[in-house]
Structure formats: structure tokens, C-alpha cells
């Protein structure tokens, strides 16, 4: 889900010990080793920083660069520079991405000071996220100032100012307070704007591209135009929805001279289809999209994002790998194993193979945009699992045999 904010709110032992000693030990372990809840940094693109809490009040803010594997805790503040992005993974599996030029505070995490509440405050810019279905007694919300949106396991977008929220799927409650709440579902967008009578109110519309990050940028200019009557506004939004769906981009043909183009409907869609073909053969892939003032930078950043997406894919598969190869691995061993797999994979992401990159110049933004598809050699994943299992003393049977088909397919694909 994507949220773009400026001043709105979104709810969206093996050792045996006698009983007295054991009781004391358990109390000590639960307090000392459980630790506060945290969010882990899954990928970093460009300049991403965390506020240095050691700086005293009244002094100028100091920032520390974030790296993959870093943990963020309650009250931590994160900022992203232009053409930067950072992805976070929460304990429940929910994913939060903080795109460029944003400032975000992690107010509460489930199990922390807020109890069963997860609250992320978007101070500036926007946030994208895919929230897992919440327990009946849990609450996941994004806040900014005056709006409230309750998240119940959903994917979509929220724009801060002017405020609007849209969903690709799931459910979202948006409101200014308990007495003024609107619910939207997948394929719907709700706007909060002044009507012809000068009073602000909610307007809910069915738009095919609701909840898409790129669509937020596409319609933001219309939403900012306060001179439009409500009828004109609705007409412009419907037209924008249709135009966005039909939009054609001029793309350079690979290998041809600069200035020679072919027209395709959506490079992202084409690359996604191609990536799925790799995925069906057991090969992880990533798609990166970036924009920059020069073509080389756009290409480089898109490839970096594609590698980060592959890293996220590995993270999302860890549970499946663990259940398949080491069902009985628990506690500290499971934690060390996961960290080792992530560390090894991220260290070797530079070995990901470039499949295709599509570049074009956007006449609207006056920037070059690059779409890239990369795949990861299954041997890297297999080696990461082997090294991690060896670290915790587990023998993963059939690992080589299980990965052999995917490794063979990878070699064939790259050879082509």
C-alpha cells in the first residue's frame, strides 16, 4: 500500500535447572533477551538516514546512514533523500517502504509501549506498504495530523495533502474522527476536498487504478486544483483514470541507435511477465524502476532497486525454507539462521544477473526513466542456506538435489 502524507492521519535450554533457579532464569531471559519490538531494514536505495538520538535538544539534527540488516525501534525517525528508498519488514510480516524525500517516525510497534498498536507517523512525503491481516485485538495505523485510516490487511495508497486514499485490494476506514468515517474497498479512492459550497467533505469514486503508486503521482496535480467544481473534478479524475490505463510510452529498442523507438504499453508489465517465467522455474527475480536527470544514473539506480527486490524475495521465503529443511529449529538458533541467510544473500546480490533494461525519456518530468529485470542464481540461495545451517549445526538434507533443477534452468536462460 502507498501512503503519501504531509498533514493528514492514517489508521489505516537445553540445561536442566531446579524449579526456583529456573523461575528466576526465565524471568531474567524474558526481560533481558526478548528485547523491544523492532523493524528490520530489508533494502536500501540511495541516501537513507536515521536520526541520531544522542543529539541533545536545541542542537542541530544529526543523522546516521541506514544499512541492510539494521533495526529500527519505537521513536526512531527515518528520512530519505531524492531518488532514494528504504524497505522495512515488521515482526508480523508487514512490509513498509519509505520512498524518496520523506520523513517518517515509528511511533509504536506491536508489543511495545503502545501495547497492541502499530503506529507510523508520516511527517513528510509518503509511504508504501503491504500490511498483513491484523489480529482482532490489534491495530495498525498511519498518522499525520487530522485524518485517520485503519488498516485491516490491505494494499493501496494514501496521499497527505491534498488528502486522498485508494486501494488495490482490502479494506480501509478513513475519517477525521469517530463520527466522520468512510470505508473503501479495492478499486476505490476517497478524496477529502472543498465542495461547491466551500465546505470540505469526502468524495468516494470507483477508479480502476486506485491504490497504485504511479497513479498517485499522475492525479496529484488534479487533486491540488481547488478551482475545479465538484463536477469538473470528478470528470477530470475519470479521464485521468482512463488515460493512465491506456498510456503508451516511447521506449528505445535494445541495441539500436539513440533516437530509434518502439511503442509498448507498459514496460513494467512486460518485465513482470518475463520475471514470472523465471519464478515458475524456481529462480528469484526483481524489477527496479528509477528516474534521474541522466540515463546512466537512472539505469544504475533501477538495477540497484531490482537487487533490493530480490533481497526482499529471499526474506519472504525464509519461513518456507525453514519449514522444509529444519522444522524443529527454534529460538536463538532460528534467529541466527535467518540473519546468516540474509547477510550471505545481501553480500552476494552483486552477482545477480541483468536480464533486460528498458529506458525512455519522460517529456512530462524531463527525466530519464529506467525499468530493469534481474534474476538471482539459485546457487547463491543454496549456498546461503548451507552456510547458515552449518552455523547453527543443522544438516539440511537434499538441498543440492532440490536446487539442481533451478540451477540448471538458470544456466540455460543466461546462456540464451
Which stretch of 149-163, 219-233, 308-322, 383-397 has the lowest confidence by average pLDDT?
308-322
Q: Is the pLDDT assigned to residue 29 strictly greater than 70?
A: no
The answer to whether the beta carbons of residues 355 and 375 sit under 8 Å apart is: yes
Which numeric CATH code is attached to 2-12+32-247?
2.60.120.1440
d(CA 246, CA 72): 41
For 244-297, write each residue's pLDDT tens digit. 876 644 333 444 333 333 333 457 767 878 888 888 888 888 888 888 888 888
Separation of alpha carbons 354 and 133, rounded Å: 35
Q: What is the pLDDT of residues 152-170, one digit of tens each?
A: 778 888 777 778 888 988 8
Mean pLDDT value across residues 120-126: 83
Could you tell me the residue ranges of all domains in the chain?
A: 2-12+32-247, 250-415
- pTM to 2 decimal places: 0.54
The pLDDT assigned to 38 comes to 93
User: How does pLDDT run across 194-241, given as a tens digit for each residue?
Assistant: 888 989 899 999 999 998 877 887 888 898 888 899 999 999 999 999
Three-state SS at 377 = coil
Residue 71 and residue 117: Cα distance in Å, rounded? 19
Q: How many CB atoms lie within 10 A of CB 404?
A: 15
| Number of C-beta neighbours around residue 316 at 10 A | 14
User: Can you identify the CATH homologous superfamily of domain 250-415?
Assistant: Acetamidase/Formamidase-like domains (3.10.28.20)
Degrees (nearest 5) of the Cα angle 96, 100, 106?
Answer: 40
Do residues 376 and 310 touch, judged by C-beta distance below 8 A? yes
Instruction: Please report, rounded to a whole number, the percentage of residues in the chain having pLDDT higher than 90.
Output: 16
Strands (E), 10-135: 39-45, 48-51, 63-65, 71-72, 77-80, 85-89, 95-98, 103-108, 117-130
What does DSSP say about strands 95-98 and 139-143: parallel, antiparallel, or unpaired? unpaired
Amino acid at each position: 500500500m502507498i501512503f503519501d502524507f504531509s498533514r493528514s492521519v492514517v489508521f489505516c535450554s537445553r540445561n536442566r535447572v531446579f524449579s526456583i533457579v529456573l523461575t528466576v532464569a526465565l524471568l531474567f531471559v524474558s526481560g533481558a533477551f526478548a528485547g523491544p519490538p523492532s523493524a528490520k531494514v530489508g533494502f536500501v536505495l540511495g541516501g537513507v538516514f536515521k536520526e541520531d538520538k544522542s543529539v541533545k535538544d536545541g542542537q542541530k539534527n544529526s543523522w546516521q546512514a541506514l544499512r541492510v540488516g539494521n533495526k529500527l525501534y519505537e521513536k526512531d525517525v527515518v528520512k530519505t533523500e531524492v531518488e532514494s528508498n528504504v524497505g522495512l519488514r515488521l515482526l508480523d510480516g508487514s512490509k513498509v517502504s519509505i520512498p524518496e524525500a520523506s520523513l517518517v517516525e515509528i511511533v509504536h510497534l506491536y508489543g511495545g509501549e503502545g501495547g497492541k498498536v502499530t503506529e507510523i507517523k508520516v511527517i513528510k512525503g509518503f509511504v508504501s506498504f503491504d500490511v498483513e491481516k491484523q489480529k482482532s485485538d490489534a491495530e495498525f495505523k498511519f498518522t499525520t495530523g487530522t485524518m485517520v485510516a485503519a488498516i485491516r490487511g490491505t494494499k493501496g495508497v494514501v496521499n497527505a495533502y491534498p488528502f486522498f486514499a485508494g486501494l488495490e485490494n482490502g479494506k480501509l476506514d478513513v475519517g477525521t474522527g469517530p463520527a466522520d468515517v468512510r470505508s473503501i474497498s479495492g478499486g476505490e479512492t476517497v478524496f477529502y476536498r472543498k465542495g461547491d459550497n466551500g465546505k470540505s467533505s469526502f468524495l468516494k469514486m470507483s477508479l480502476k487504478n486506485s491504490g497504485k503508486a504511479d497513479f498517485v503521482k499522475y492525479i496529484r496535480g488534479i487533486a491540488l486544483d481547488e478551482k475545479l467544481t465538484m463536477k469538473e473534478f470528478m470528470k477530470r479524475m475519470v479521464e485521468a483514470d482512463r488515460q493512465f490505463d491506456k498510456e503508451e510510452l516511447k521506449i528505445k529498442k535494445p541495441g539500436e541507435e539513440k533516437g530509434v523507438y518502439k511503442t509498448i504499453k507498459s514496460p513494467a508489465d512486460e518485465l513482470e511477465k518475463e520475471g514470472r517465467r523465471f519464478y515458475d522455474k524456481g529462480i528469484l527475480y526483481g524489477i527496479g524502476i528509477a528516474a534521474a536527470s541522466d540515463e546512466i544514473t537512472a539505469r544504475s539506480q533501477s538495477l540497484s532497486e531490482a537487487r533490493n527486490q530480490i533481497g526482499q524475495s529471499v526474506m519472504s521465503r525464509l519461513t518456507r525454507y525453514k519449514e522444509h529443511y529444519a522444522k524443529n529449529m527454534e529460538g536463538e538458533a532460528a534467529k541466527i539462521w535467518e540473519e546468516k541467510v540474509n547477510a550471505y544473500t545481501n553480500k552476494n546480490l552483486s552477482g545477480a544477473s541483468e536480464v533486460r533494461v528498458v529506458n525512455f525519456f519522460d517529456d512530462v518530468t524531463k527525466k530519464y526513466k529506467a525499468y530493469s529485470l534481474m534474476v538471482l542464481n539459485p546457487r547463491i540461495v543454496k549456498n546461503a542456506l548451507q552456510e547458515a545451517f552449518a552455523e547453527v549445526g543443522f544438516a539440511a538434507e537434499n538441498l543440492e538435489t532440490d536446487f539442481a533443477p533451478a540451477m540448471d534452468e538458470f544456466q540455460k536462460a543466461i546462456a540464451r
